[in-house]
Structure 1
Amino acid sequence: MKKMIIASTSTTHGSGYLDYLLPTLKSFFTEVKTILFIPYARASGITYNEYTAIAKKGFSSINIDVKGIHEFKNPKEAILNAEAIFTGGGNTFELVNQLYKNDVLSILKKVLEKGTPYLGTSAGSNICGINMMNTNDMPIVYPPSFTTLGCISFNINAHYLDPVKGSKHMGETRETRIKEFHVFNDIPVLGLREGSWLEVKGDAIYLRGNLSARLFTQNQKPIELESGVEVLI
């Protein structure tokens, strides 16, 4: 049975790394002593070691250790043997590129489907959907495919932003870009605002956090989902 936390972000305004999620993570990872961290997205371009150190510090307050996947000789075995897995944010193109390069995407999907607890933030959440085509990131590398884990039946747009009321800026909004996506694709897209996350229990998915989320489906008006509801798509 799948056990996943799919979060829009690792930090909210004015908070430390994972601070807003720690009460949830303490309960979610209650029997976990060590988490396998996947730092492939390289937030802000930092090294795997630097990124793992940040994750380690974040989890130390709830007495959970963190080991980076790059510290293991065999990344497939690391995933298969992991008590729990955390994929951090950064650039989704590079994250997906490395998952394919190391040939671990299918193994990761397999263990998550069998119930290994998983936390994803930002790019680590983008890969939970059917594909990564609703990321906000720049295509700094060219992954072999945009296909991702497919652990949920829709795509995630992390860090979803609403248009600023009263603004005279005429540029594209996130809603505009998702509408463009739906000209060619029928995959539903959930816009997750900062500080929101999904809790996946088996086939059930619940919206958590203080904010609503915006659900986009092809040829339909977007709808607001209130926190606490089951996401039914």
Structure 2
Amino acid sequence: MLEKIKHYLDYFHRDVEKEIERFAKSIPEGSLVLDAGAGEGKYREYFSHCRVIGVDNCVGDSSWDYSSLDVVGDLHLLPFKDNSFDFVICVVVFEHLKNPFKAMRELSRVLKKNGKMFAVFPFMWELHQRPYDFFRYSEYGFKQMAEDVELSVVEIKQLGCFFRVLHYMVASMLKECKNNISVLLLTIIFLPYLLLFLFISDIIDRLTGICNYTPGYSIILKK
């Protein structure tokens, strides 16, 4: 029950799932998709009409089940030929890469010409998967990193503004709590706030125009 509450209040990841689903629906049936940094493969279900190859180095989280992976490998040196994949997805991974520029070059290398890459990257997030949390990216930094390896921006989307950041921080705090009693007490304390901003944070952000803050971005790139 508490896990369901946590998931429902985690607005950012629900936004991410919506963007992934939207991107997946744009992909032709039978396409070959690389899930780079796939982890437990939780986004594979959105690409059931495609052939998905999941790759991860399996060090991010010791509690995860990596059994659904197709390849255990390093994004800095992918074991695939040039121009192998029609599409690439890379969701909340780049902050964990020691050399993101090299990894971006590798992803561009294995992507076919005119192929597209979908990525999600955090901007204002908590530390996670320690000690493998190295970077945060502005939209301009990530765009420049992509353009340096001949990937052009098709679309970049800010996943919420100032009040969504506040909502995300409280929701993340609840997710971090390991003690069920603490979670229950904190949920009771913060629930009115969370429910309020769950429904009106976007409206408030549009009215205030405070958009220099965001939990993160989704981006679509084309080779």
TM range (shorter): 0.3 to 0.5
TM-score using structure 2 length: 0.44
- Considering fraction of residues, name the structure with more helix: 2
User: Is the radius of gyration larger for structure 1 or structure 2?
Assistant: 2
TM-score using structure 1 length: 0.42
